[in-house]
């Protein structure tokens, strides 16, 4: 048999290092269990409930009518003549198609996205923040993820001979650790303050960057707000302190703001980094910032369409040219994803035929998510040995576990992280798939898991009930 030209010994080692917990071994096993159930193999449960990933519509959330109608007419323009579609939907489809090559979504767009959609994004940001936005700084991307990867890539240089470093929160969304590993960059961990509703402590940022200087050249700071996996929402005061820290340390700011519509806690509100930075005035208003938004989360949940954008603020014009060159090699993001993004940031206006239904559907989704956020946190806090901060925003609960020493020893004997062992036992016993805290990072000696709050209310109650019953039995077994 001929020798393979590419083996684990000679392939890119960064790919081997890369991990992505929300689609990792537990999810692979969950799929296997689903197949086993289909084949009639008996289990102590009848279905797998996936709390591992923020996939809204996979969990039963209905699409927003306006978004799907506009997408339908753009994909099949002959239906523009159909009386079943409202006039504002038809006008939106006609407008977008007029900016597409051959008036077809099957044509490439500009690499940075369809011009009219970029203009709508700038208008959305201006309305949201009360500060100007230039559409030429707004770049559409294949979900927010691809925008994040593009920006991190331009920071992948060091003048000191040490690898470039990016500061990321712990716990974090694994996109960041996976991307840094793939690019051969250094991951600078800063720990969020679990005892203070996952706030971002500036002294911890200073500790982390100082500790990292021996190992890397710090280049950027990532902030996820609202938080994933923590469900936290940063206060304006906290954001101002973060901006000042980034300025003092000469770090490029990256604001992951994809959950900006998902705010549930009373008295909390979303503050964009751009708005806060701009209102602070010079020198902070002159800082470089990349902020990210997505059509996958919020109230829309259009994960599979892969729509997102990035706004680049105060970027060196020559650097921006290079960034645009880098995205041109990928041709363009999904045109249907771009259209979904347009419907999110430029919804039907009062007086238009689709407005009332759009607002009703949006409010129903967000109200239901708020109720599920409260239910999840309250349930976890009612379980002896668990502790969960309130789910102030985003789509996840991240409860902390007390694990018995015998369970920790058992996990180590299997070569597993203790919370991975817990999560795998939970899956095999109940069919509930969650992600262990070790997949996101956590303070040493603490154990967590992340679950979405996306299952519809009755299914979420089932998930929470199974977790409670299992945890109580697990604690007794390993006492």
Partners of residue 433 on adjacent β-strands: 50
What local confidence, expressed as pLDDT, does residue 26 receive?
Answer: 82
Is residue 42 one of the residues assigned to a domain?
A: yes
Q: Which CATH number is 228's domain given?
A: 3.40.640.10
Both tokens assigned to 143: 């979900």
Average model confidence (pLDDT) across the chain: 90
Among 19-28, 387-396, 426-435, name the one with the lowest average pLDDT.
19-28
Same domain, 224 and 107: yes
Is residue 158 one of the residues assigned to a domain?
A: yes
Both tokens assigned to 157: 């240089």
Whether residue 55 contacts residue 303, with contact meaning beta carbons closer than 8 Å, is answered with yes
Quote the DSSP letter at residue 388: -
Same domain, 470 and 395: yes
Q: What are phi and psi of 188, to 5 degrees?
A: -100, 110
Same domain, 296 and 319: yes
Same domain, 286 and 247: yes
Same domain, 115 and 235: yes
Whether residue 228 contacts residue 394, with contact meaning beta carbons closer than 8 Å, is answered with yes
pLDDT band at 22 (very low <50, low <70, confident <90, very high): low
pLDDT at 21 over 60: no
Same domain, 145 and 266: yes
pLDDT at 92 over 90: yes
Would you tell me how many other CB atoms lie within 10 Å of the CB of residue 81?
9
Burial of 384 (C-beta count, 10 Å sphere; 0-12/13-18/19+): exposed
Domain span holding position 263: 96-345
What is the residue-wise DSSP string for 11-48? S-HHHHH---GGGSHHHHHHHHHHHHHHTT---SSS--
pLDDT band at 319 (very low <50, low <70, confident <90, very high): confident
pLDDT at 215 over 60: yes
CA dist 415 and 60 (Å) reads 36
Among 18-27, 249-258, 318-327, 388-397, name the one with the lowest average pLDDT.
18-27
Is residue 374 one of the residues assigned to a domain?
A: yes
Output the CA angle 286-288-290, nearest 5 degrees: 135
Whether residue 134 contacts residue 123, with contact meaning beta carbons closer than 8 Å, is answered with no
What local confidence, expressed as pLDDT, does residue 259 receive?
Answer: 92
Average the pLDDT over 300-325 and give the result: 90
424: Cα within 13 Å, side-chain hemisphere? 19
> Cβ contacts of residue 426 below 8 Å, gap of 6+?
432, 434, 467, 470, 474
Comparing CA positions, the residue from 178, 131, 74 lying closest to residue 314 is: 131
Whether residue 54 contacts residue 454, with contact meaning beta carbons closer than 8 Å, is answered with yes
Q: Which CATH number is 411's domain given?
A: 3.90.1150.10
Choosing from 345, 374, 401, the residue where a domain stops is: 345
Is residue 124 one of the residues assigned to a domain?
A: yes
Is residue 76 one of the residues assigned to a domain?
A: no
Whether residue 336 contacts residue 143, with contact meaning beta carbons closer than 8 Å, is answered with no
> Cβ contacts of residue 399 below 8 Å, gap of 6+?
380, 386, 387, 388, 448, 449
pLDDT in tens, 334-384: 999 999 999 999 999 999 999 999 999 999 999 999 999 999 999 999 999
Average the pLDDT over 459-470 and give the result: 92
Both tokens assigned to 177: 């650790």
Is residue 78 one of the residues assigned to a domain?
A: no
Q: What are phi and psi of 340, to 5 degrees?
A: -60, -45
Higher confidence at residue 27 or residue 397?
397
pLDDT in tens, 110-144: 889 999 999 999 999 999 999 999 999 999 998 88
Is residue 47 one of the residues assigned to a domain?
A: yes
How many domains does the chain fold into?
2
Average the pLDDT over 13-18 and give the result: 68
Choosing from 300, 315, 345, the residue where a domain stops is: 345
Choosing from 291, 312, 345, the residue where a domain stops is: 345
Comparing CA positions, the residue from 372, 125, 393 lying closest to residue 262 is: 393
pLDDT at 85 over 70: yes
Q: What torsion, rounded to 10 degrees, do the Cα atoms 368, 372, 375, 379 define?
A: 160
Both tokens assigned to 226: 């609202």
Same domain, 394 and 442: yes
CA dist 410 and 77 (Å) reads 60
Same domain, 337 and 470: no
Average the pLDDT over 69-94 and give the result: 95
Burial of 218 (C-beta count, 10 Å sphere; 0-12/13-18/19+): buried
Same domain, 301 and 430: no
User: Token pair 């058992």 is at which residue?
Assistant: 410
Average the pLDDT over 270-293 and give the result: 95
Same domain, 337 and 366: no
pLDDT band at 267 (very low <50, low <70, confident <90, very high): confident
Same domain, 225 and 272: yes
Same domain, 339 and 367: no
Contacts 24+ apart (CB under 8 A), 470-475: 470/425, 470/426, 470/429, 470/430, 470/432, 471/383, 471/385, 471/386, 471/401, 472/383, 472/384, 474/407, 474/422, 474/425, 474/426, 475/384, 475/385, 475/404
User: Whats the size of the chain, residue-wise?
Assistant: 479
């Amino acid at each position: 048999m001929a020798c393979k030209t590419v083996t684990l010994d000679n392939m890119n080692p960064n790919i081997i290092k890369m991990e992505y917990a929300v689609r990792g071994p537990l999810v692979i096993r969950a799929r296997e269990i689903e197949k086993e159930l289909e084949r009639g193999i008996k289990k102590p449960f009848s279905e797998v409930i996936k709390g591992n990933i923020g996939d809204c519509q996979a969990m039963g959330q209905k699409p927003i009518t306006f978004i799907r109608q506009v997408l339908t007419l753009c994909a099949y323009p002959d239906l523009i003549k159909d009386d079943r579609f409202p006039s504002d939907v038809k006008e939106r489809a006609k407008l977008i198609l007029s900016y597409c090559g051959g008036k077809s979504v099957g044509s490439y767009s500009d690499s940075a996205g369809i011009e009219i959609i970029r203009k709508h994004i700038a208008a959305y940001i201006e309305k949201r923040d009360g500060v100007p936005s230039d559409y030429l700084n707004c770049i559409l991307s294949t979900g927010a993820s691809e925008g994040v990867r593009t920006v991190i890539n331009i920071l992948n240089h060091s003048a000191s001979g040490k690898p470039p470093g990016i500061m990321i929160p712990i716990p974090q969304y694994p996109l960041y650790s996976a991307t840094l590993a793939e690019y051969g960059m250094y991951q600078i961990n800063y720990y969020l303050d679990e005892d203070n509703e996952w706030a971002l402590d500036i002294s911890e940022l200073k500790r982390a960057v100082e500790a990292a200087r021996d190992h890397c050249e710090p280049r950027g700071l990532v902030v996820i707000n609202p938080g994933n996996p923590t469900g936290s929402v940063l206060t304006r005061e906290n954001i101002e302190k973060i901006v000042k820290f980034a300025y003092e340390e000469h770090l490029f700011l990256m604001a992951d703001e994809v959950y900006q519509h998902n705010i549930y806690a009373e008295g909390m509100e979303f503050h964009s980094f751009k708005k806060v930075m701009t209102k602070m005035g010079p020198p902070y208003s002159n800082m470089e910032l990349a902020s990210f938004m997505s059509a996958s989360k919020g109230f829309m949940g259009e994960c599979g369409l892969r729509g997102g954008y990035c706004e680049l603020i105060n970027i060196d014009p020559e650097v921006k040219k290079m960034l645009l060159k880098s995205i041109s090699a990928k041709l363009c993001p999904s045109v249907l994803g771009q259209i979904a993004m347009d419907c999110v940031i430029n919804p039907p206006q009062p007086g238009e035929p689709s407005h009332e239904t759009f607002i009703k559907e949006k409010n129903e989704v967000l109200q239901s998510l708020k109720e599920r956020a409260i239910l999840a946190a309250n349930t976890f806090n009612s379980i002896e040995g668990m502790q969960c901060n309130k789910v102030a925003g985003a789509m996840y609960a991240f409860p902390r576990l007390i694990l018995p020493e015998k369970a920790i020893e058992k996990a180590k004997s299997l070569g597993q992280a203790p919370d991975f062992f817990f999560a795998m036992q939970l899956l095999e016993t109940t069919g509930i798939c969650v992600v262990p805290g070790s997949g996101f990072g956590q303070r040493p000696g603490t154990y967590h898991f992340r679950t979405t709050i996306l299952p519809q209310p009755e299914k979420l109650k089932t998930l929470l009930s199974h977790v409670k019953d299992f945890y109580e039995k697990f604690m007794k077994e390993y006492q």
